[in-house]
Homo-oligomer: A and B are copies of this chain.
Amino acid sequence: MTKKTAEDFAKQQKEISISEFFEKNKHLLGFDNPTKALLMAVKEAVDNSLDACEEAEILPDITVKIKNLKEDVYKVSIQDNGPGIVKEQVPRIFGKLLYGSKFHRLRQSRGQQGIGISAVLLYSQLTTGNPTRVLSRTDEKKKSQMFELLIDTKKNEPQIVKQEETDDGIPGTGIRVEMDILGRYRKSQGVDDYLKQTSISNPFAKIIYHAPDGEKMTFPRSVNELPVPPKEIKIHPYGVEFGILQRFLTETSSRTLQSFLVNEFSSIGQQTAKEICSMAKLEPNMKPPELERGGIEKLLGAMQKAKVQRPPLDCLSPIGEKELERSLKKEYPEAEFITTLTRSPEVYRGNPFQIEVGIIYGGNMKTDEPIEIIRLANRVPLLYQAGACATTEAAKDTDWKRYGLQQSGSNLPSGPMILVIHMCSAWVPFISESKEAIAPYPDIVKEMKLAMQDAGRNLSRYLSGKRRAGEAKRRIQIFERYSGEVASSIALLTKKPEKEIEKKLKSMISQRTHIKDDEEDKTE
């Protein structure tokens, strides 16, 4: 055998399509095992449906059906009442990875990558070989368009197996996706949890779910209005990197550096633009593409040092305190105490974001186990990789003993409680393409902790009220145990009716114990 040379190696070099890449690395997209795969299929389709309905300003009606075909093979069908997708776009949206409308703009949405639903198709064809059936109806007056799709993994292009107009089944407008996948169904940490939590974070959505075990669940709307649609924003100067700025400068249609700054970035007005130019010692009237390396460096430095207002916050669409509370009351009617709060928006690396927290306490939860955490990002429930998530880090880092829970070391606290945490942002930094956990950036963890502390104080107030009420009750019980005897003795002495004396005694006891409570409050 002769040694290999550079020429030998050259023959092996080859392009890898993104479909091939993710087919081999499907675990990166969340398709690690059949249980998770079943969840991913439902999740990607439902997230898309909710995004489409919200953007088209339609109150979502979504139906999810899962049927066990044989052994580990399931048929999954998801139907919505959204605007539908025009015929020409259906194949690429479903049959091409890295294709979509959400990547190239900065706007809060559930999807952000252009990978999700096509990855499910990829997994479906890999495990069952069957094409995915997509029905789209964009106009009530017209028929639905039906496609049977596969993905040509070598080219990362859709392959249309069949295409026809059909009368089949979509009332009004909307999409229906039907696919066969290798999966496994279980009740917890799967589709059921995902849909329940989706209903909590999207109180305006109605979801009907036919589980594979025959159970039919309905998650009704708890509010009848769509949230205010989040606005698209431009990148904030504090979040810009050299390469991005360089590219923007050559691609802009702005004629001067000053107008470039105003037009291409958020929060820069004419005055700030002038200041930035002067800090960078650059002429505000110069043409943007004429900036050279050194100039770009100075401009970047000035953009990051200048006092720039924080980005506009109407790009955020939180669930809302009242809406979240209503959702939680609907899903946890047996809870003893519920509190919700929405913090003011904050900014990490130039990206606005907002944290909401809810606490559900008591009811029939176990008291000696770690609390449960419901993690949400842009209204999407996150069910895996909790250990790597900013939410978990924040929860562990919060001192829950101050708020009346048990907690040892830096573990999660124990108690009969569910903690809900929601982060919304035009760009949520997920730790993987499967979007299962939020990267624990310090700015994000800090804000989550502050939100938990706020909610913790509400819980603490409730719990100390409950404790005091309990103490008062015990005192009353002690007094009451003797009030009968005392009353009859007094009755003997005073010749007054025993019943009346006892009644007065009891009212006095009750008053006194309340007064003592108030005094305790003051000295606490």
Contact = CB atoms under 8 A, between A and B. Distances in A.
Interface of A: 3-7, 9-10, 12-18, 20-21, 23-25, 27-28, 32, 52, 55-58, 83-86, 88-89, 92-93, 96, 98-101, 103-105, 113-114, 125-129, 136, 138, 153, 173, 241-244, 246-247, 293, 296, 385, 387-388, 429, 431-433, 439
A291 to B, nearest CB: 11
Among A6, A14, A92, A429, find the residue whose CB has the most chain B CB atoms closer than 10 A.
A6
B126 A6 contact: no
B85 A296 contact: no
A34 to B, nearest CB: 12
Contacts of A14: 99-101, 103-104
Contact of A5 (B21, B56, B387): B56
Contacts of A136: 6
Nearest to A21: B98
A24 B103 contact: yes
A344 B244 CA distance: 50
B21 A113 contact: yes
A513 to B, nearest CB: 45
Contacts of A18: 18, 98
Given A126-B242, A244-B126, A387-B387, A89 B10 contact: yes
Given A24-B103, A242-B126, A432-B28, A85 B16 contact: no
A413 B126 CA distance: 42
A32 B98 contact: no
A504 to B, nearest CB: 59
A99 B5 contact: no
Among A89, A100, A243, A433, find the residue whose CB has the most chain B CB atoms closer than 10 A.
A243
B432 A4 contact: no
B388 A9 contact: no
A215 to B, nearest CB: 29
Contacts of A173: 6
B16 A86 contact: no
Given A114-B16, A388-B388, A125 B243 contact: yes
Contact of A6 (B3, B16, B85): B85
Contacts of A129: 242-243, 246, 293, 296
A9 B55 CA distance: 9
A17 B6 CA distance: 29
Contact of A86 (B7, B32, B439): B7
A88 B32 contact: no
A370 to B, nearest CB: 15
Contacts of A85: 6, 9-10
Nearest to A104: B14
A27 B86 CA distance: 34
B439 A93 contact: no
A98 B15 contact: yes
Given A16-B99, A16-B114, 13 more contacts: A5-B83, A6-B136, A7-B138, A9-B55, A12-B101, A13-B99, A15-B98, A15-B99, A21-B98, A28-B432, A127-B243, A128-B242, A129-B296
